[in-house]
Every structure is written in structure tokens, then in C-alpha cells.
Amino acid sequence: MRKFFFIVFLILVTALAGLFGYGFFEANELIVRRVDFAHPKIPPAFDGTTVAFLADIHCSRYFYFTRKKVRDLVEKVNRLKPDLILLGGDYVSGHRYIASSYAELKNLKAPLGVYGVLGNHDHWADAESSRREMKKSQIPLLENSAVWIKKGGAEIRLGGVGDWWEGTQDLKATMRNTKKNDFVLLLSHNPDYLETLPKEGPDLVLCGHTHGGQVTMFGLWAPCVSSRYGEKYRSGRKEIKSGTAFISNGIGTVVLPIRFFAPPEILLITLKNPHTP
């Protein structure tokens, strides 16, 4: 009997080790998720424009997302040659990593610019230091503010709001001076903010925060999602009142350096004008 329980114990330990090993492997296999997004308000000049969206890097130490990994991430994104790079917050897990992570992120290159918002972890680490380092790195922070992105004589509106947990959200700054036919893209770290958007709001919203659940039951369900709406905003494309949202699985990890059927991703979105041949 003792031998039987010992064998069962070995099997369980081996299975757990295998699961942890796979989870660690998946957490380090960054993929590029390519999606097309068509909308009639996207100007023809922006047809084919690529937008790289990076969220939840969580730079830290050891088995997590080290500075070297941030450097590798930047190189990988630059090799994709996106037209526009957007950052979705949670760049670090801890104050000591703020300066070093932005020392790498400042090397991101895109002809239409690099912009970002803050996430809850950036506030917990030190929001003022994060803002200061973003400014030093020449990455404009869209914290309840917006800019016009211009290309080929046309323009789209790009805005961002403060973090849902730790900041404030003011959509008026994004929607101000926009006309009915202007295409509006919004950054919000936390997808729970999507529930508050009016019908006459942004056409496309990019979010992170949830890590796709990080550890899921084969991609079908996650026991823990950092959203009050559970599975609704865990990952992927969602239709909302004002338009469409994409929730990224993000890049780094928290608690444990593992993922299970929620692969880390760079979201590469190609904007399409449906009337352009």
C-alpha cells in the first residue's frame, strides 16, 4: 500500500512539474497576433496602417520580464516596422525597474509615433516617476488627453484615459473637436472602463490588464480574471456600444512566471478602409 501511494505521489509531482515547465515555456514564447480592423471612418490614407499594441510588460527580475527581455521586445517590435506603436500600461512590477525599463522602451521606433497610458502597477510602483521617465524617453503620455495622428493629408484621433483602478477617466478630452466622421482610437489599460463608454464614443479601444487570464483551462475559461466582469473582457475582440475593443493577453506575468493557454502577445493591427480597392 505504501508503495502504491508513493507511485501516485511521484505521478502527481511529475505532472505538476510538467505543467509548471510548460507554463514557464509558454510565458517565454512571445507571439505576434495579427488582426485586420476595417471601419468606414478610417481614412483611405490610413488603409494598411499597422498599429503595434504592447501591454503589461511587467519588467522585474529573475524568471519574470528582465531588462534584457524588454530590450529584446523592443528589437522584435522594431523589426515588425509598425507605423504606430501604442503602449497599454503596467510597464513594471516595482519602483526599482521604472528607469531601466524606459531606458529600453525609448528605443521603440515608428513613423507615426509612440504613445502610452499608465496602468495600475505603474501607479503602485510610483506614478510620478513613471510619468517623468516617459517624458524623458519622449513617449507622450495620453492621460485624459489626445492627439491627432496625421498621414497623407488625413488624420485620426488618438486618445487615452487614466487607469480605471488608480486614476481618473475623462473621455471629453479625446472626443473634443471631433466630427461625426472622424475615426477615434482610445487607449484604456483596464477593459472594465468599456462598460462606461457612451454610444457616441471611440470607434476602437485597446486594452490590456487581464493577461488573458494568464492561467486558463486550455483557453476556454480562467479561474482568475482581474476584471469585475469575469470572462466577458478576458481576451480578444469585443463589440461594445461605441464600436469595437481589443483586449490583449499582454506580455509579462505576475505572481508566477507562467502562462497556460494565454500566450504573451504583441498585437499588430492593420487598419483597413473597406472602400479602398
| CATH number for position 144 | 3.60.21.10
Q: Which residues pair with 151 in a beta bridge?
A: 154
Phi, psi (degrees; rounded to nearest 5) at 252: -95, -165
- Taking alpha carbons only, the member of 87, 93, 97 closest to residue 55 is 87
Res 3 pLDDT > 70: no
Phi, psi (degrees; rounded to nearest 5) at 111: -60, -30
- Give the pLDDT confidence of 6-23 residue by residue, as tens digits: 454 455 555 565 666 889
Task: Flag whether 187 is in a domain.
Answer: yes
- Average pLDDT over the chain, rounded to whole? 94
What's the CA gap between 169 and 277, in Å, rounded?
38
Q: How many domains does the chain have?
A: 1
Query: What percentage of residues in the chain have a pLDDT greater than 90?
Result: 89
For 244, the 3-state DSSP assignment is: strand
Q: At what angle do helices 98-105 and 67-80 cross, to 10 degrees?
A: 20
At residue 16, the pLDDT reads: 62
For 139, the 3-state DSSP assignment is: coil
- Give the pLDDT confidence of 54-81 residue by residue, as tens digits: 999 999 998 899 999 999 999 999 999 9
Task: Flag whether 277 is in a domain.
Answer: no
What mean pLDDT do residues 250-259 have? 96
- Give the pLDDT confidence of 209-232 residue by residue, as tens digits: 999 999 999 999 999 999 999 999
Burial class (CB in 10 A: 0-12, 13-18, 19+), 11: exposed
At residue 49, the pLDDT reads: 98
List the domain range (segments joined by +) for residue 119.
Answer: 2-272
* Alpha helices by DSSP H, 28-145: 67-80, 98-105, 120-136
* pTM confidence score: 0.94
Res 2 pLDDT > 90: no
